[in-house]
Structure 1
């Protein structure tokens, strides 16, 4: 078939196929671009562990492309997206570290010959840069490919290999068979688990290593005595949990929620160095992760009551606006007051406690708790402004402390305070994303430096910290400076210097998302909620997103592997990147009504949302929406849904909701305009990719609705309904957050509305 302009040259997928990981026996092999029916296969040389681990992301082997590999091209000075730093710092065989297409290829003007499509080039580089197998590319094999599931037991060693790239080699981690995300699944602590993940030059006792958050009887008694000094403001029925329950809650918090929002420095964590309200907030979130919902709610209200009492007690540390944020009653002298055991406290503790309490209440199904979260949000914004959102120039550098241990602890306090403020900014903006409220804290108010390197943050003692500090050449940029550089970048591929850490990149992405919201809000015509962004702003945002992606790919800790030892933040960032592209072309904010917690109202609102216009610009957003759908399908929809709590955050679900709606609306637009406007090559390839994803899901997913078990039709309207059905099933199967179940039920109701309006096209 003659290749049309805009098609992706088959050679473009070479690197994706060459970066594939193989089975342990080395029997799998990549294929290259010769005649598609040649039937020839050749075996590639062994690959390094972190490349071999790439296949563990999906739990799948690669499809066999019937093409022998061509000779490797000569080394180039730089990639299209420079990937000179191998993933996780590992050493990659030179034959696997190459660009998708060499620079000379474009310099010779060959793009006109092959009909190069810039959107697919950019997206293929994105996939290549994060070490994904070729089967994740929109140019992988057709629907008749073989089912190539890898035995889950074979993945454990792959996962560990990928996680050893930046860590000191240690014993192999224990994994839970049958689950792809074992590093964050709750299990009984065994052996020296901590030393396996955070190698320590100074051995500690096995008991401390195996249960770092264990609460003793004495500790529980001390905490309970402090709680009792606030008995007059607590619910009379509140009972402080047992030491076993507290151990369970704190362990679940640090192994689950903390990995998504790391604002506490765990190597120096000491429970009695923190305030009661923070401990109760952490326990509330941990109880939620343990599925103990009544206890989590009791802990939340106890923590909030003590927090409000603290603010009244420490009112001289804050301004008048903080006291009025929640209309706190003034203390009356006639009121009997118990002798409080206030314990340790500093103003930043209030920020930390508010993050934890909001982290619980924001996603609860009860409207009353959601209202509590909004009240705490306003309070948090005001506390942040009064605590300070700028670097303290006059502070003595931690390195000047008398001993390395003292310097490390002083640095940890400073860095954890910075992270608490930055994470508070990002979490409050998540409120804006979820509930379409104007950002309460704007990017131009944040004058903080981006977070430090992961090695510095995770160093488990002063010696490791000093080594990590010496390896750091430059200080991280200030948040506002980095955001400004992204938006001013003209070519869209130059990363920041130094490259931000995963958490820094995550914070910057919230800054870009906030700009999309504010610019659209200012551009919104009266009574017109479509609010298309100005073309010059779209160009600026897309350049910023490309520049962000280039830097994100080069960060050694960045990977889409959910088992990434550096935590799930890079994985979360990839979903927000897709959300950013979607929001440029789909204004869904006023049409979600997630705050109502009513699936029927949400579905009707989405049904009334604007249609998606077919255009060349929306192609990139569509690629990311298809990619988002492919992740749970490749990993196993039900498998991920029932074990996702420790890597798949609520933010993934918010992104997934908008990706599902955009992709569904675009597929329906193909049906409505197919008679007048033929598909472009890019649209045709995306349609093919979606068909492959849907067919794979329908082959294996046990849908729990009453629809007959029949194969999905291949027409775009049926695919649109199928996409919604897969996402709805995935969200409804979540076992962690009822909020995600509500999103699934809403998508299901939205799909039913579409089916009733187009009965002849129903799946």
Structure 2
């Protein structure tokens, strides 16, 4: 037992002892035979990483894990207790910059050397830590050198007259880094004179209380701008160029560079001054007439507000673009909608406490509005109530809390009713306009309504996919409704009416039912990326309704039509409208809009659902009990048949996992939570269950495999050859499950 050697003292060091032994600190818990050190004999792991599910027995292990694993995730780097105690307000000298020391502490070197003991793996890990540490210190030194010459009044700003933003280590971008969002105009110079506000002006517990990287933000931004001041490439193009080549090509529209038009970038709305923040506070108070918002509610500071807006519009918005960024003014938009946007932005900023607080505030304000509205009518319900409710339902459904999912399902019918009433009002407005073309403001209002309806439709489809919930909106609701426009037209900035009409006339106008009928007739239409995502959602729900029908086994004609519609949808991707919108996300969508990449994941799942029904697994997922989910997965083994048709499903499963393997499992694990949409883990889980169960049956069934099955098995085996040792090559089902699980465990945004 390691503890038995506590009283044994190490022999005195001789003159021939190496420097490593002489500098090594005394280790009380070490083996008396091999001199290896051990931690205390305890199973408690009280130090938990808030960015993943890892736990540690000591804080220094947590710090090292955060330094090496989450250095480039975009989250908040942790600091040791000593650094936190000494991180008070400091005065920065005005003089010229001095060279910063980039040397490691002697004690750090000695500790690393003492723990190696000739172990090759430990030495390699130590080398990696040294390189990362030196790299971080070099970046900090560069930021400090440049920041010394800057006159940046926003750094001194604090709502509570305390130093909120501190200069510290900034993590340089790397091969597998998350995209470093260029958040310009975080704080205006006008914000240097903060005004005290009464109940909700606080930074305690918010992002500013431990916001280490913002101090060097402006310096790092100036560095990046000065390096590419003459270039006109967008952030998304530079991000995509750093990605590995994507072997499993995702068919889609032309890339922005091939359209001939310069890419249009989406600029996140910002709160520019402290006066605007106070205006938001006053508006929240005016909405909270019953004082139902919890006492602990605090509106984040100016820096966090802008960061949450940037993460929402930079990371989440592109996957469900129903808000109009150009007209989204934080001081004019309804407070419940603003808080809902900020809550999801806080999730992507890894600030979960703030996210839940903002989410609760938004829910309370929406409930107050609906309960106090006399003569409630879904036709008169403002659009922001639907948008706020949708974002709150998204937050609650994917947060990992079964109570949140129960709440989201309880208001599904209410949201569907609001969509139906609001859509009827939209129809009356369009009929009153007759054949006249809408002005730009009228079109933005109408298009915002249409996009919100379809966003609700897509979200309900994901609830059906994941939890087997009956859809609350039928496709008949959208028969004569136009499909969403292109993202370029949605984000277009024009000043004169003639130019606007020219762009509007050049945009295709296709209704939902026209596209639906054409797909089932084998004829493809040209529509936008958002419309592509809407139509695959409709086809998936058609498959779901068919498999739940009592006549599904005998209805061969319907199944043939569904296969034809899915094949037509896949072919229509080649003629999809090119999107000239710049999307700064790291994902293997090859320059296409992320909506195409997301729709492709839904397509694979729809193809699989035609052959395999995992209803029991989906129902177990509703209640978030891991033992029940595992049991349902095991019992679903017999649902995966061995046939020639299932081989086509396994091919789709292979295409799904090949995307992750070809780009690197670790890269996907660190990038996908913040850059890919929630469709990918949800759709991918079904496919990985099917693939694992099919491999398990091949490995354990007494029935011999056909040549087609052997070929597919060897194809999967070759894909995972470098990830599985020779001892595991006969257990590919376990390898697939383990690797897929590792992609979900590293960085956690949703629950």
- Normalized against structure 1, the TM-score is what? 0.60
Aligned to 2:276: 219
Tell me which residue corresponds to 1:654.
682
Q: CA deviation at 1:463?
A: 6.2
1:723 Cα deviation from its structure 2 partner: 1.1
On the 8 A contact 2:268/2:313 being kept in 1, the answer is: no
The aligned runs of 1:294-305 (5 Å cut-off) are 294-305=353-364
For residues 668 and 582 of structure 1, the distance between their equivalents in structure 2, rounded to whole angstroms, comes to 18
User: Counterparts of 1:540-559 in structure 2 under 5 Å?
Assistant: 540-557=561-578
Q: Equivalent of 1:182, from 159, 171, 179? A: 179
Q: Which residue of 2 aligns with 1:479?
A: 512
Which residue among 518, 540, 543 is the counterpart of 1:513?
A: 540
- Taking the aligned partners of 1:223 and 1:684, their CA distance within structure 2 comes to 63
Which residue of the other structure, out of 384, 398, 409, is the alignment partner of 1:374? 409
Please list the CA deviations of residues 290-347 of structure 1 after superposition, one character each: whole Å capped at 9, or x if unmatched: 111121111111111111111134343515xx9xxxxxxxxxxxxxxxxxxxxxx961
Closer, same or farther: CA 675–357 of 1 in aligned 2, 3 Å: closer
Q: Could you tell me which of 615, 618, 622 is aligned with 1:595?
A: 622
Closer, same or farther in 2 for the Cα pair 1:219/1:186, shift >3 Å? closer
CA distance in 2, matches of 1:465, 1:711: 68
Where does residue 140 of structure 1 map in the other structure?
none
Q: Name the CA distance, whole Å, in 1 between partners of 2:435 and 2:495.
A: 12
Counterpart in the other structure of 1:249: 308
- Equivalent in 428, 431, 440 of residue 394 of structure 1: 431
SS in 2 for 1:273: coil
Q: 1:637 to 1:500 in 2, by over 3 A?
A: same
Q: 1:521 to 1:184 in 2, by over 3 A?
A: farther
Aligned to 2:458: 426
Task: Report the counterpart of residue 473 of structure 2 in structure 1.
Answer: 441
Residue number in structure 2 paired with 1:605:
632
Whole-angstrom CA distance in 2 between matches of 1:476 and 1:183:
37
Maintained 8 Å contact 1:626/1:690? yes
Deviation at 1:669, TM superposition (A): 2.9
- TM-superposed CA distance for 1:550, in Å, is 0.7
Any conservation in 2 of the 1:260–1:568 contact (CA below 8 Å)? yes
User: Which moves more between the two structures, 644-653 or 294-303?
Assistant: 644-653
**Stretch moving more, 213-222 or 501-510:** 213-222
CA distance in 2 between counterparts of 1:549 and 1:413 reads 31
Q: Which residue of 2 aligns with 1:562?
A: 588
Residues 1:228 and 2:243 aligned together: no
Q: Offset of 1:561 from its aligned partner?
A: 5.8
> Is 1:575 matched up with 2:601?
yes
Determine the structure 2 residue equivalent to 1:50: none
- 2 CA distance for matches of 1:431 and 1:186? 33
* CA RMSD of superposed structures (Å): 3.3
Q: In the TM superposition, what is the alpha-carbon distance from 1:387 to its structure 2 partner?
A: 1.5
What is the deviation of 1:285?
A: 0.8
Segments of 5+ residues of structure 1 without an aligned counterpart are 1-174, 200-207, 323-344, 402-406, 525-530, 699-709, 739-763
Cα 1:421/1:183, change in 2 over 3 Å: farther
What TM-score, normalized by structure 2, do the two folds share? 0.61
Unaligned runs of 5+ in 2: 1-171, 185-216, 238-264, 581-585
- C-alpha distance in 1, partners of 2:386/2:621? 26
Relative to structure 1, the CA distance from residue 238 to residue 649 in structure 2 (aligned partners, 3 Å threshold; closer, same or farther) is same
- 2: distance between equivalents of 1:551 and 1:467? 28
Cα deviation per residue 1:475-525 (whole Å; 9 max; x = unaligned)? 332112311221233xxxx312xx12111011111111111111111227x
C-alpha deviation, 1:584, in angstroms = 0.7
Residue 365 to residue 588, structure 1, CA distance change in 2 (3 Å): same
Aligned to 2:529: 502
Instruction: Map residues 126-275 of structure 1 onto 2, 5 A cutoff.
Output: 176-179=173-176, 182=179, 190=221, 196=234, 212-229=269-286, 230=288, 232-275=291-334
Q: Which has the larger radius of gyration?
A: 2
Tell me which residue corresponds to 2:389: 354
Instruction: Identify if the C-alpha distance between structure 1 residues 469 and 372 changes in structure 2 by more than 3 Å, giving closer, same or farther.
Output: farther
Is 2:269–2:326's contact at 8 Å kept on the other side of the alignment?
no
Task: Name the CA distance, whole Å, in 1 between partners of 2:462 and 2:432.
Answer: 31
Deviation at 1:176, TM superposition (A): 4.0
For the Cα contact (< 8 Å) 2:269–2:325, is it kept in 1?
no
Is the contact made by 2:696 and 2:733 (CA closer than 8 Å) also made in structure 1? yes
Does residue 452 (structure 1) correspond to residue 485 (structure 2)? The answer is yes
Equivalent position to 2:710, from 659, 675, 684: 684
Q: Note if contact 2:579-2:593 (Cα within 8 Å) is conserved in structure 1.
A: no
**Structure 1 runs of 4+ off > 6 angstroms?**
183-187, 192-195, 208-211
Q: Deviations over 1:156-201 (max 9, x none)?
A: xxxxxxxxxxxxxxxxxxx9432376377989584599994699xx
Question: What CA distance in whole angstroms lies between the structure 1 residues aligned with 2:236 and 2:601?
Answer: 27
